[in-house]
Structure 1
Amino acid sequence: MRQFAIRVAAATGATALTLSLVASPTPAHDKDNVRVPTLTGFASLPAQTYVPASDPSGSALGTAPINGVVPPFADQPIQGFSGIVRGGGGAYEVLSDNGFGNKANSADYALRVQRLAPVFQTGAIDVLGGFHFTDPNGKVPFPLTRPDRVLTGSDFDVESITRAIDGTYWVGDEFGPFLLHFDRTGRLLSAPVSLPGVFAPENPFLAGGTPNLAGSKGFEGMAISPDGRYLYPLLEGPVAGDPTDSLRMSEFDTRTGAYTGKKWIYQLDSPAHAIGDAISVDANRFLVIERDGGQGDAALVKKIYMADKRDKNRDGKLDKTLVVDLLNIANPKGLGGFGPVFRFPFTTIEDVLIVDEKTIAVLNDNNYPSSSGRTPGLPDNNEFITIRLPKSLNPDGRVLR
């Protein structure tokens, strides 16, 4: 497969990769009943897609080819999709993560929300612009990488995003782990909020202490209650002293700006697994992506579960029910040029969104340029798929807005 670079409009509202067909936010219809989870939409953004006239990046990656791509880069790649919210008119706002994988190599990656519109009729994705996260008012109490206070992948590792009723954004970070509150333009509104008693190795307040959370195991998923009052951030890894297959979900009150003290446990199928995202279905239920670390043919577990905090069996854990196996999706129409069984075999799958009561959207984090789950030796594209489910999720209508 020939790789090529694409640069797209950086300003909000500007459109690149212009196509005559605009994506419908609901690619399937109520009449499209299925017996098994079925692929209904496929769109892909080439891995080598960059924000035009942006800052150079990837300087800490060296100069040796990575999956055939030679760093550093003249611009900022549009990559690492780690969270998604609706953007209106068939578009979506997608969170790019900290850049190139860790604090040390991502100082030249500006944290950003990308505005995208999948065009399922053609299989392409329109890039409609986006915005950076910034701290112009000095809310962050520790030194930042850039003097202009544009936040970078060395300041925070943003991995989950929700939009509040007032249009502001809550973002989950892994370096603290912190909760970050931004206005509609990406400006930080208040100081980062720590999770009491939990410290990742990158936490700037650790002050020589011992972390009790592994690196890159902070807030990978974060749901918001349908009424907008509570956040439910979910850690990707266990806190020291907890069972190695147990992840903490906490409750945060957006009115008081504090954690309520309520906690739940999401139990992984295996301690070797991780979660990729968590979103609300209603006041009690969540969709959670659970995955192993494999890619391509080595990918064995890429699943989405329904997790219920009512704990009907009283075992102290969220009740889990399988919704879809992402390695076994029916594809009767051969969408994307794939066969009758579609696999989503990426190392990191970190985005799920409810499109309608029977349809979900799922995106991968392509870890550009490091992951090659689709074609060995080539960097993964950013793929956007929709899946029709055989049964309704019966979501609270407010999560569809």
Structure 2
Amino acid sequence: MRLSLSVLALASALAAPAIAEETFPATLAGHAYIPALTLITPPADAPRDTWISGKFTGKTRNDQPMSVMGNVGKGYGGHDTGIALPFIGQPMQGMSGFAMNLAEDGSIYALTDNGFGSKRNSPDAMLFFHKMAPDFANGTVERRDTIFLSDPDHKVPFRITYDGSKSRYLTGADFDLESIQVLNGEVWIGEEFGPYIIRAGLDGVVKAVYPTMLDGKELHGPDTYSVYVPAEAGKDYQVQRSGGYEGMALQPGTGLLWAMLEKPILGEDGKPEGNFLRVIKFDTNKAEWTGESVKFALTEGATAIGDFNFIDGTRALVIERDNGEGDAARACADGATDTSACYPKPAKVKNIVLVDTADIDADGFMRRIGHIDLLNIADPDGKALAGMKPAEGPFTFPFFTIEDVIALDDTHIIVANDNNLPFSGGREPGVAANNEFILLSVPELLAAK
């Protein structure tokens, strides 16, 4: 008898390994931030349209700068964030990915995502990456350079927003950028709409766009340009909306990219295939998919990942998270109708997981070695910045989207958030989240095997 796809999906979900692993301690060693409302001047040759961004975040076009207040949405308490759209210039936004390899000056290659959260509302949000240098002694972050992505050679396989312009800069209506790596003078970017891998020069000029191949078939998301409404989940597209390459790790010495989808893919029945994520390998040397993939098992309560970076030849760090936002100490009471000063959906699962990519079980799952809890960080030396720490208890990093992690040395990692400007809070109800960088001392985690 042939099993139905739904039964196969259930069997696959049940095959995910039970997660019982060690939780390692984490100590805050440094804290720095970029103010939430940090804007960037567009390039001189960019279309005039880019000088006011966020014009399409409402139901109709709005050209009046700073006229509509940002809000976290009903599900998160309906808090205004204190920062209004549209913006004059381009929002630097939150960081959606760190490259493993540092720039020559020691700064971090940091990626900004698509703008305002969707293909529809981000046609005037430019796409770029930066060189960032956090100064944990002074609590600041220096933006040393910003590189804007463009397609002057028409490598993108569909019509872009600024298609008729001379400069052909890319926008958040073209791609949703979520992960970045730099190798041999080139930039490799994991993207969510396709999902695609984008290859570009360090000048931001696109060289190639690679659609995703899994098990011999091209994967699509609901925002892939070739998918038309009405489209059936699981058949016309398999990748969930906002479920593309949130993490894309570069394996040292191999040229292999391990591209991890943010959310479980969909079976033909339109339902997630299980509580795990696909990790698909791409060979930068051959510029093609290897045909190999593995799985990452999510812990209970986690819904997605935020970043993925190797720390040596086989071990890597993964950020896994739930969809919560805000410190649990300020959670709303059950049944509360006034949520103005509390969080109805506080953060509960925000982990940095250490995995061993060389240890894959019979069902294709990479081994989880252990993790640290970003909601339980010791701060014995008072490193947390004023206004960005709980009133009591351990330091927490309770943001909706935490999307950046790299190892700095054998004992420290750097973690940062995507603040979804101006739509996320996390520290204080009614206050937009800043772009925070934290330096964590985690020697036990990084030494674990």
TM-score in same-fold range (> 0.5): yes
The answer to which of 382-391 and 188-197 deviates more is 188-197
Q: CA deviation at 1:58?
A: 0.7
2-structure distance, mates of 1:126, 1:233? 29
User: Corresponding residue for 2:94?
Assistant: 80
User: Corresponding residue for 1:141?
Assistant: 157
Normalising by structure 1, we get a TM-score of: 0.85
Q: Percent identity at matched positions?
A: 39
Do structure 1's residue 388 and structure 2's residue 384 form an aligned pair? Answer: no
After superposition, where does 1:127-276 map in structure 2 within 5 Å? 127-146=143-162, 147=165, 148-164=167-183, 166-195=184-213, 196-207=217-228, 210-241=236-267, 243-270=273-300, 273-276=303-306
Aligned-partner residue type, residue 134 of structure 2: P
After superposition, where does 1:1-400 map in structure 2 within 5 Å? 36-52=25-41, 55-62=51-58, 63-66=67-70, 67-85=81-99, 86-146=102-162, 147=165, 148-164=167-183, 166-195=184-213, 196-207=217-228, 210-241=236-267, 243-270=273-300, 273-297=303-327, 298-311=346-359, 314-335=362-383, 336-337=385-386, 338=389, 341-391=394-444, 393=446
Structure 1 unaligned regions, length at least 5:
1-34, 396-401
Structure 2 unaligned regions, length at least 5:
1-23, 44-50, 59-66, 71-80, 328-345
Q: Deviations over 1:378-399 (max 9, x none)?
A: 110000111011326259xxxx
The 3-state SS of whatever aligns with 1:101 is coil
Q: CA deviation at 1:271?
A: 6.7
After superposition, the CA RMSD in angstroms is: 1.9
Q: Residues 385 and 169 of structure 1: is their aligned pair in 2 closer, same or farther, counting only changes over 3 Å?
A: same
Q: CA deviation at 1:226?
A: 0.2
Q: CA deviation at 1:340?
A: 6.0
Q: CA deviation at 1:92?
A: 1.6
4+ residue runs over 6 A deviation: none
Q: Deviations over 1:38-92 (max 9, x none)?
A: 1111001000011136621010124431112121111101112111132343422
Q: CA deviation at 1:129?
A: 2.6
| Contact residue 332 and residue 340 of structure 1 kept, 8 A | no
Q: CA deviation at 1:163?
A: 0.8
Q: CA deviation at 1:282?
A: 2.7
Task: Work out which structure has the larger RCO, using CA pairs closer than 8 Å and 6 or more positions apart in sequence.
Answer: 2
Q: CA deviation at 1:315?
A: 4.3
Normalising by structure 2, we get a TM-score of: 0.76
Q: Residues 79 and 252 of structure 1: is their aligned pair in 2 closer, same or farther, counting only changes over 3 Å?
A: same
User: Corresponding residue for 2:11?
Assistant: none
2-structure distance, mates of 1:36, 1:247? 26
Aligned-partner residue type, residue 444 of structure 2: K
1-structure distance, mates of 2:42, 2:117? 23
Aligned-partner residue type, residue 84 of structure 1: F
Q: Residues 268 and 36 of structure 1: is their aligned pair in 2 closer, same or farther, counting only changes over 3 Å?
A: closer
1-structure distance, mates of 2:107, 2:241? 33
Q: CA deviation at 1:121?
A: 1.4
The answer to which of 234-243 and 95-104 deviates more is 234-243
Aligned-partner residue type, residue 233 of structure 1: A
The answer to which of 130-139 and 183-192 deviates more is 183-192
Q: Deviations over 1:361-386 (max 9, x none)?
A: 00000000000001111110000111
Q: Residues 37 and 272 of structure 1: is their aligned pair in 2 closer, same or farther, counting only changes over 3 Å?
A: closer
2-structure distance, mates of 1:227, 1:394? 21
Q: CA deviation at 1:301?
A: 0.5
1-structure distance, mates of 2:445, 2:239? 37
Q: How many positions carry a matched residue from both structures?
A: 360
Aligned-partner residue type, residue 106 of structure 1: S
